[in-house]
Structure 1
Amino acid sequence: MAVLSPSREAAGPPPEPGEPAKEPEGGRRPADWRFVAPGAALTVLAALMLGFVINLTVLGHIEHARAQQTGYAKLRSELAQGVAPIGRFDDQGKQVPAGDPVAVLHIKTIGLREVVFQGTTSGVLMSGPGHRRDTPMPGQPGTSIIMGRQWGYGSPFNHIDELKTGDNITVTTGQGQQQYKVTGVRRAGDPAPALPGTGQGRLILMTATGGLYTPHGVLRVDAELVSQVQPGPVAGGGLTSAEQPLNGDQAAWLPILLWLQGLLLAVVLITWAFRRWGRWQTWICGLPVLAAIVIALSGEATRLLPNLL
């Protein structure tokens, strides 16, 4: 007569043919992948949405502040050396890269002091206001355009609609301090002022109109140059669609796809480690990796949103 081991006795008699096996006392039911896979997918999606919101609000403002510090340090050094850009091309004859600092914008009445970067794509405007590349630099003849965000990434132009006629605007460039006086604030449908005459300068500040993170139009602040007009190269050149007001940057799709692949690989590895290694060890090592990928992915995704948001 066969003697059952204690483990067999504890487990009870074997199930009858066709009868499902009973769960051992104190044991856990094996994971059903019909529910685990959709649950994991929803968890990852929720993490992505949360990361997107945090990036656009909290982390975006931190990123903007850091970009302003580094941009100011670089521009101050270039101003001291006399090599700050005064047009589309630098002192070496090369085109000024998008995202390079080119000016400092100061409006005392609304407490605004921002480094202005070259270009107006959504990615550039994460760092601060951007100078539209097809317009002259501030202080030079013609109409200079500076675009900035209304709410996201430091919300630098959130209060420019409060400017009044006669308010002063100072823009520091490689040609010194340029002084402007506000002549009016325009919204969609308002008539545009006459073009500046020969040898005259104008500045237009542009941002979005609308509620919190819901842009639906463009607001413009017009200002005329009251300081001496500075010489400069002829403005012009083409713009991409991503540099136009309220457009996103479609070039962000490639890094988004690459980060999605990285996220998928990380989820697979973490799932394998969870089953083979242990719960707490996996979370301690895997959570920072997932958080870093989600933040990077959500940062690229925000480039698809309107640049004046």
Structure 2
Amino acid sequence: MSEPSAPHDAVPEQLPMRPRRRKRSPVSKAIGVFGELLITAGVLVLLFLGWQFSLNGIMLNNQQASEAGSLSQNWAAESPTAAPVPSASAGAEPAGTFLYGEPPAGGSEPGTGDDFAVMYVPRFGSDFKKTIAEGVDPKTVLNNGGAGHYVTTQMPGQVGNFAIAAHRDGWGSPFLKINELQLGDPIYVETQDGWYTYTYRSSEYVTPYGVGVIDAVPQVPDATAADRIITLTSCNPLYIASERIIAYGVLTDWTPRSAGAPAAIAGLVGA
């Protein structure tokens, strides 16, 4: 008895041939390589942004808090302990005068890159405090996470314009919330002499070449200054920086170091 034959379709008559891969043209290869490079670059940019806005930002903010606290502590150790006497006209002083008299003239000019003040802005956060250094060079000053002082402008408390700059995105983002300032918000600037309280008044947007904002009288280059102004400058919009956002305030109070810090920031000073 013969064995049954296999079904007709069990063994193919001929195995199909594997199609040959077409050789890629040089142009196609170049496009492929370029696409891979773009993907790699995109990944690197995302990694950099993640580092810039997370780990690096946290490190810079911690560093700023430590440096600002050290400045305050050093100044406190050098200050007199006797309580100051308020001006005789306290409670009845005319507009433009202060409870403890005229603020100091500003002292000696700091060296480029030197920290000479600490800034507190409650609107930016309950624990916000940043150093202010001389100069606005990004690499040596602003990238340290604090603010920088335009060297051609006045010092804290002086008649004229005390103008400063800081990053809004990246490098600790100290001025991230500059657009959230509201009329009447206090801006405190601490120096070796004491605390200057500026009050926010208004904002404007200018081109990157709008240098008139740091004139002694902002945007009026030939005017004679009569007020004590603070000007905060930063980039806008976020991540694009095609213009600048400017915030203005005016000095409304001055407190010598021997009188103690203003109550609103007393818990932050020297901490």
CA shift, 1:81, in A, is: 4.0
Task: Name the CA distance, whole Å, in 2 between partners of 1:221 and 1:146.
Answer: 10
Letter in 1 for 2:233: M
Contact map agreement 2:233 2:244 (CA 8 A) in 1: yes
Normalised by the length of structure 1, the TM-score is 0.50
SS in 1 for 2:162: strand
Letter in 1 for 2:131: V
Matching of residue 207 in structure 1 with residue 237 in structure 2: no
CA shift, 1:204, in A, is: 0.2
Letter in 2 for 1:152: G
Pick from 105, 117, 130: which aligns with 1:103?
Answer: 117
Task: Name the CA distance, whole Å, in 1 between partners of 2:43 and 2:206.
Answer: 37
Contact map agreement 1:64 1:153 (CA 8 A) in 2: yes
CA shift, 1:208, in A, is: 1.0
SS in 1 for 2:242: strand
CA, structure 1 residues 117+166, in 2 after alignment: closer, same or farther (shift >3 Å)?
A: closer
Q: How does 1:59-78 map to 2 (within 5 A)?
A: 59-78=55-74
CA shift, 1:47, in A, is: 8.0
SS in 1 for 2:184: coil
CA shift, 1:157, in A, is: 1.1
Matching of residue 216 in structure 1 with residue 216 in structure 2: no
CA, structure 1 residues 140+227, in 2 after alignment: closer, same or farther (shift >3 Å)?
A: same
Contact map agreement 1:144 1:203 (CA 8 A) in 2: yes
Task: Name the CA distance, whole Å, in 2 between partners of 1:46 and 1:185.
Answer: 35
Contact map agreement 2:159 2:228 (CA 8 A) in 1: yes
Letter in 2 for 1:136: Q
Describe the superposition over 1:168-227 as per-residue Cα deviations: whole angstroms up to 9, x where unpaired: 22111122111112221111279956578555310001111113x221110101111122
CA shift, 1:51, in A, is: 5.1
Which 4+ residue blocks in structure 1 deviate beyond 6 angstroms? Answer: 42-47
Unaligned 5+ residue runs, structure 2? 1-32, 80-105, 257-271
- Look up the match of 2:29: none
Q: How does 1:170-189 map to 2 (within 5 A)?
A: 170-188=188-206
Contact map agreement 1:106 1:170 (CA 8 A) in 2: yes
Letter in 2 for 1:206: T
CA shift, 1:80, in A, is: 2.1
Task: Name the CA distance, whole Å, in 2 between partners of 1:102 and 1:122.
Answer: 17
Task: Name the CA distance, whole Å, in 2 between partners of 1:75 and 1:58.
Answer: 26
Larger Cα-atom Rg: 2
Contact map agreement 2:184 2:201 (CA 8 A) in 1: yes
SS in 2 for 1:214: coil
Contact map agreement 1:209 1:219 (CA 8 A) in 2: yes
Contact map agreement 1:103 1:172 (CA 8 A) in 2: yes
Task: Name the CA distance, whole Å, in 1 between partners of 2:117 and 2:153.
Answer: 14
The share of aligned pairs that are identical, in percent, is 25
Task: Name the CA distance, whole Å, in 2 between partners of 1:229 and 1:69.
Answer: 22
Normalised by the length of structure 2, the TM-score is 0.56
Equivalenced residues, count: 182
Matching of residue 121 in structure 1 with residue 140 in structure 2: no
Contact map agreement 2:236 2:244 (CA 8 A) in 1: yes
- Look up the match of 1:227: 253
Letter in 1 for 2:115: P
Describe the superposition over 1:229-286 as per-residue Cα deviations: whole angstroms up to 9, x where unpaired: 99xxxxxxxxxxxxxxxxxxxxxxxxxxxxxxxxxxxxxxxxxxxxxxxxxxxxxxxx
CA shift, 1:58, in A, is: 1.9
CA shift, 1:106, in A, is: 1.8
Describe the superposition over 1:75-111 as per-residue Cα deviations: whole angstroms up to 9, x where unpaired: 123312449xx5563xxxxx5241x322222222342
CA, structure 1 residues 48+114, in 2 after alignment: closer, same or farther (shift >3 Å)?
A: same
Describe the superposition over 1:109-164 as per-residue Cα deviations: whole angstroms up to 9, x where unpaired: 34262222312222322222222222222212210011111111222211121222
CA, structure 1 residues 228+152, in 2 after alignment: closer, same or farther (shift >3 Å)?
A: same
CA, structure 1 residues 166+44, in 2 after alignment: closer, same or farther (shift >3 Å)?
A: closer
Contact map agreement 1:150 1:156 (CA 8 A) in 2: yes
Contact map agreement 1:120 1:130 (CA 8 A) in 2: yes
